[in-house]
Structure 1
Amino acid sequence: MSLRDRVTFPRFAAFTTGLTLTLVMLGVYTAATGSGLACSAQWPLCDNGLLPQTIPSFIEWFHRLVAMITGWFIVGTAIWSWRRPETGTRLTATLATLLLPLQISIGAVTVTLNGMLPTGYSPPTQGAHLVVALTIFSLLVWTALSARTNGDPPLPRVRRALLVAFGALVASILASRVFTPTPYGPAGQALFYGTSLLAVAALIAATRWLAASSVPRLRFATGTALGLLFVGSLLGRDLVFYTPTVRLVNAAVFLLAGALVAATAVLVSRARPDGRAGSVVSSD
């Protein structure tokens, strides 16, 4: 099998989604180390040239390089989607591409105008940068799911997705600032967002597959858990002063999301293809 045969659209879309997840983690690490302000408040140049001159500048420069590569992969995904006969992937892939200029502009403002502020990054700009990134990632997840042609029954796929979502959610809680024994440094923040995005992807998959299952109403539970996870992710970016009260709210958000995922998993495990609860008993 040639390389051209191996690189199918579903694999390309899935790779682009994974690359976007990596970019978000790298962006969080760059911001947490303060490296985003290391290029002398210049964009797209760095340290008055094309190449960085210090370690912090290299981190910011490398983040920009990965962002550029990821952007072209997202554009490529959208172009490829329009060359395919089915239309299910076109809308989400195109929307992700249309959001790229906005995300690039916010990133440029973050490391230039915001770098001139006494306190560095401003919460509104930082929050907008994260919200757009999460939106692009979610659109790419939906694109990758739409590109797959899987004839398996939806319930087994939902069970696997919920298992991944619950495991990733537990890992994100342990890496978050809610769990005080874990240092919430640059690496910890990157790990928190990496596991959170993995949980987001799994919940999007579960919600999509539940809609085509015998228990479609359960998708409202996974959708609610997805919304709670978004709120918890935003609280992890210092958008508000992290008081003990905010920590308590953050913990409650994560616990409620985990409870919804666990409860949905139990109900799905008991569901039968005809939509009724109970174990499936085979008859000879």
Structure 2
Amino acid sequence: MSTDSYTSRPVVRPLIERFGFPQLLATTLVLVAATILLGVAAKATGSGLACEQNWPLCDAGPYNAFPANLPSFYEWFHRFVAMFAGIAIIGTAAAAWRLPDVDRRVAVLVVMGAILTPIQVVLGRETVTQYTMDILQLHFWTAVLIFVLFVVATVLVWASRLTASHVTGSLVLGALSLPFHVALSPFALGDITSYGPSMQMAQYAVTLALLATVIVAFMVGRRRLQSGRLTAVLSATAALSFVVVFLAREAVNPAFDTLYLASVAILFVAFMAGIYLSRSATAKARDGQAR
């Protein structure tokens, strides 16, 4: 091998060849989800306030290695995981852009996530230095957008291994998640003081699962099951899921309870319709192949 051919070899390729780009992308997605859930815990405990507007350090010396109390620990651990998530996002974007065999759509999605990452870091700092509801909302929805971008990219990368049965399975999982979403909400708990960090983390874990399932169902369903009615239902299901997530954020206000429950009920019906149509479309596709 010549020196020129060796030096022109992308430095990210040996790592990708060993572990695989799909695995790198999936790992990054898990880190993004973990960062969001830890951020929810930090918000629920008011942990940013424990740092007394100090950022990126807090109250325990270099790198806040020894947090002074539990709220400080939540904030420190959130920042710690977020740091690794940010590194993974940038690394995944670099790998996607430089590797010639990565779908350009995937590259664009993860690069968009990488562009949003420093914005998210700045918003994270502002939640500590200012802690206003507007900044908290921007911080949350930017994180959700990064999560969605990486879910879509992950589905594109794994698309060849996802079949029609995954559409029905995703819809079933989405339908099953809705009762848990309601049960973990302030509406079902009855007392806002019961909506503590554990409950909030659990509900937002269900929220991320809900968003992931509708994205998988929509993307794979449109690819594997060419049915106009199913595509319309899957589109409505995806849109309704984001409505449910938005209203769940506002459900601490009793004025939104009716809207939240109504949207959940409509979404559940949409899931049921999607399950029926996906099973019918899968059966027709199998009959066509058998003939």
**Which of 99, 103, 116 is 2:120 aligned to?**
103
Cα shift at 1:37:
1.0
Query: Please, which runs of 5 or more residues in structure 1 have no aligned partner?
Result: 115-121
Identify the residue that residue 10 of structure 2 maps to in structure 1: none
Residue 248 of structure 1 aligns with an amino acid whose one-letter code is T
Aligned CA RMSD, in angstroms, stands at: 2.6
Identify the residue that residue 117 of structure 1 maps to in structure 2: none
Matches within 5 A, 1:1-284: 7-47=19-59, 49-50=61-62, 51=64, 52-84=67-99, 85=101, 86-114=103-131, 122-150=132-160, 154-180=163-189, 183-212=194-223, 213-238=225-250, 242-243=253-254, 245-272=255-282, 280=287
Paired with 1:7 and 1:162, the residues of 2 have a C-alpha distance of 30
What is the TM-score with the length of structure 1 in the denominator? Answer: 0.86
Residue 159 of structure 1 aligns with an amino acid whose one-letter code is T
Cα shift at 1:145:
1.1
Cα shift at 1:216:
4.6
Contact 1:88-1:147 within 8 A present in 2 as well? no
Cα shift at 1:6:
5.8
Higher helix share: 2
Residue 91 of structure 1 aligns with an amino acid whose one-letter code is V
Q: What SS does structure 1 have at the residue aligned with 2:267?
A: helix
What is the TM-score with the length of structure 2 in the denominator? Answer: 0.84
Cα shift at 1:4:
6.9
Contact 1:162-1:206 within 8 A present in 2 as well? yes
Cα shift at 1:179:
2.1
Matched residue count: 270
Deviates most, 66-75 or 169-178? 169-178
Cα shift at 1:231:
2.7
Q: What SS does structure 1 have at the residue aligned with 2:160?
A: coil
Deviations 1:183-210 (A, max 9, x none): 4221111111111111111110111112
Q: What SS does structure 2 have at the residue aligned with 1:99?
A: helix
Cα shift at 1:45:
1.4
Cα shift at 1:104:
0.9
Q: What SS does structure 2 have at the residue aligned with 1:44?
A: coil
| Gap change, CA 1:4 and 1:133, over 3 Å in 2 | closer
Q: What SS does structure 2 have at the residue aligned with 1:46?
A: coil
Query: Please, which runs of 5 or more residues in structure 2 have no aligned partner?
Result: 1-14
Paired with 1:230 and 1:24, the residues of 2 have a C-alpha distance of 16
| Gap change, CA 1:103 and 1:283, over 3 Å in 2 | closer
Cα shift at 1:138:
0.3
Paired with 1:83 and 1:197, the residues of 2 have a C-alpha distance of 29
Superposed structure 1 runs of 4+ greater than 6 Å apart: 281-284
Cα shift at 1:222:
2.5
Cα shift at 1:272:
4.5
| Gap change, CA 1:215 and 1:6, over 3 Å in 2 | farther
Q: Percent identity?
A: 30
Paired with 1:218 and 1:26, the residues of 2 have a C-alpha distance of 36
Paired with 1:143 and 1:90, the residues of 2 have a C-alpha distance of 8
